[in-house]
Structure 1
């Protein structure tokens, strides 16, 4: 049996526990069943944003007439070359991981599927390994709904949609979360006739005001069917046929392609955790304590597979925490998450940090809500903004921001003002001490803070 100081399962967020400790002299084995880099690099956030950015350019061009600028109604798009460029870039980045590991004598890279023999013993490619500490960062994969007729058809998940080189004339997207909306938006911008089928509402976990605004704005540009139930799916003569109930009315839809993006499931089912004392919840996510340690001593888990946050920036934070506490400080301390933000890269963009208004009400907070539209700003005037806003939720007593929400142009950038403010425990007053560049988008955030200050003073 081979013995290591560290075994890491997964080369996405798990990479934070490979090279850094190896440079301190620890012997590390890293196991990967697919291509190095994990979901984000190979089939997630990086290639999707490389696809979405050109789609944003097309979306801006589509609405250019209000600025007295006219482009051809049908732009020329070399979709095949675009996707090939993205795939080539991603593949080259992934391929660069192995040479770096190979140059490090303290790292053994193992291509294969890891399965547990016991708490501290892993079998891969017929060989058994053990280590003082094991880190599980095996991620998650698309969850496929049990829809009659779906199995066996050539439907796409996000994995296939990011590598498809022929643009379908028509596409049905099943799902109302960020993956469905981002990829569907991109395909629509490139020229596919896209229809979104959403079981309840789009982005239903966002703040209620944001959901309302998003549905209103997004539905002006896209075909969206809310409150849908898919009865069955057929695939004949290279066409998909979906029998759907929309608000109680039955209809049949047809398309060339089908994208299913209805959530994810953890990759715990292939790890043979039944051979260990590692416990999972009812959905298969690994249970960890405040130190990210599983119920098996010396075995840790991080990232999507623990079901807490599903972002590359959050697993990076978790990996850096584990490296720091276990190998730099060598002092056991609990993980304390700062405010964890996220964004949805559609048109309009959506970004958030902290709580929603609905969450604060349910948890009994005494707070006020202040909202400022994009149009009520100088840069909003320049952009002829007719939608979008920034909303902040402020605790009355402390005047601290408990949640911030942005929907509109560059929302993913503007929200960083509030990420820093909340991370530092700042107040509305701290935000108003700043001098803001005029005219720039963050002035919308300042205006929301001014409104919040007025409301707080009147209470």
Structure 2
């Protein structure tokens, strides 16, 4: 019997293995498919290569904002080759690391549970005192649409394999993945049409910032809010989408591909957890503790995006490491969801959420004030020709500690880290304003928001 079996070798599983092998060699990690991460292969890394190239081209084409006149065109076959070359470099580093693990620690194949202590892989049974389930997730898409469209329906699992970008593409979804990819494709010259179930873009919960994001992004992107195709058909090497416009009139749209970017769903179902307990039949209703990630009262723990509402790489890595202690010290367990929330969307302007967002604070009836700053007239933003968007910082009215923030602004990825660390250290409004803000920088905008919050607390 093994001390620990890890199922899944993505970010969470790999980090769990690296942590566990320090304390025990009586360990097994099982993986179905490539021994690298979703992030490196089809997620954050190839998408950011595509986005970076697209933004570089966009900056050149809009250089008149800083007094330049530049004409450029993109050879998208070279762009996609560049995306894959860098993607392969990232995955190769992970694969090389895994190759150095002892062969006796690794099994390739699809695992499922027989009972609470036993799994089966490739017809062979293995037992363990504890388990970490890090099987990850897979893109959502309509199975019937896939049957009708074949290779004309793609997800993030296929888009980076295209030899070159198409002329026209339709995107289903307006969430994080959809907006990132749709804007990048548009900036690289693809005619993009977005169909969104709701009237929301990205991840912002603040009504003011969400409205601002919709206003700015719809100037650049063709987004049909609260509209989904009611029929899709394959027409040779194209896709015809039928939908109703704002006046409820039927319309058809012909595109080269349909990109479905409506999130991902867990692969926990493949583990046949119901063979442990019939109550585990519905994976959407599993008794998993949100803080310890324990399944029921069993020595079974779930890591990463196999079961989370924050499918973020650094959280998956953190959970994988921390869950090893719960497994090896069972029944003594502790919380593993300990990081201050941090989420970034790499659209342009970038979106970010730090700590508790606006919606969470309102739902909790927290007494807070909002420090606001627009970057339309902010000095450094004007210099850069990036004077769009705004930031909200949420401050507790009693303790004056920073509770959270939402951002829709150029360089939000950097601001978000600063604010995240402030929240983690539980600093107050006064502490933040006592820090230096160099002139002229984008960070001065944060000071403006903090001063706006202080004025509300001390008129």
Which TM-score band (shorter chain)? over 0.9
- Spell out the pairing of 1:57-96 with structure 2 (5 A cutoff): 57-72=56-71, 75-96=72-93
| 1:224 to partner: Cα distance | 1.4
Q: Choose 349-358 or 396-405, whichever is displaced more.
A: 349-358
Q: In 2, Cα distance between the equivalents of 1:159 and 1:9?
A: 21
Contact 2:287 2:296 in 1 (8 A): yes
- Spell out the pairing of 1:347-366 with structure 2 (5 A cutoff): 347-366=348-367
Contact 1:374 1:388 in 2 (8 A): yes
Structure 2 stretches lacking a partner, 5+ long: none
- Deviation track 1:155-177 (CA, whole Å, cap 9, x = no partner) reads 11111112212210001111011
Contact 2:113 2:272 in 1 (8 A): yes
| 1:98 to partner: Cα distance | 4.7
Contact 2:315 2:339 in 1 (8 A): no
Contact 1:194 1:223 in 2 (8 A): yes
Q: In 1, Cα distance between the equivalents of 2:257 and 2:307?
A: 33
- Deviation track 1:407-441 (CA, whole Å, cap 9, x = no partner) reads 12111111111101111111211110100122111
SS at match of 1:394: strand
SS at match of 2:130: strand
Q: In 2, Cα distance between the equivalents of 1:320 and 1:251?
A: 51
Tell me: CA distance 1:323–1:443, structure 2 relative to 1, closer, same or farther (3 Å). Answer: farther
SS at match of 1:450: helix
Q: In 1, Cα distance between the equivalents of 2:414 and 2:329?
A: 32
- Deviation track 1:106-142 (CA, whole Å, cap 9, x = no partner) reads 8522221111111121111121111121110011111
Contact 1:391 1:405 in 2 (8 A): yes
Alignment of 1:266 onto 2:266: yes
Structure 1 stretches lacking a partner, 5+ long: none
| 1:52 to partner: Cα distance | 1.0
Q: Choose 399-408 or 92-101, whichever is displaced more.
A: 92-101
- Spell out the pairing of 1:43-54 with structure 2 (5 A cutoff): 43-54=42-53
Contact 2:268 2:283 in 1 (8 A): no
| 1:307 to partner: Cα distance | 2.4
* Aligned residues: CA RMSD: 2.4
| 1:228 to partner: Cα distance | 0.6
In the alignment, which residue of structure 2 is the partner of 1:284?
284
- Spell out the pairing of 1:113-124 with structure 2 (5 A cutoff): 113-124=110-121
In the alignment, which residue of structure 1 is the partner of 2:31?
32
In the alignment, which residue of structure 2 is the partner of 1:403?
404
Contact 1:22 1:107 in 2 (8 A): no
Pick from 164, 170, 174 the counterpart of residue 172 of structure 2.
174
Tell me: CA distance 1:211–1:346, structure 2 relative to 1, closer, same or farther (3 Å). Answer: same
SS at match of 1:82: helix
Q: In 2, Cα distance between the equivalents of 1:246 and 1:34?
A: 42
In the alignment, which residue of structure 2 is the partner of 1:242?
241
Pick from 2, 5, 20 the counterpart of residue 4 of structure 1.
2
Contact 2:204 2:406 in 1 (8 A): no
- Deviation track 1:324-379 (CA, whole Å, cap 9, x = no partner) reads 55559995322352321101111111111133333322321111112101134321
TM-score (norm 1): 0.92
Alignment of 1:192 onto 2:190: yes
Q: In 2, Cα distance between the equivalents of 1:314 and 1:210?
A: 25
In the alignment, which residue of structure 2 is the partner of 1:256?
256
SS at match of 2:455: helix
Q: In 2, Cα distance between the equivalents of 1:447 and 1:21?
A: 46
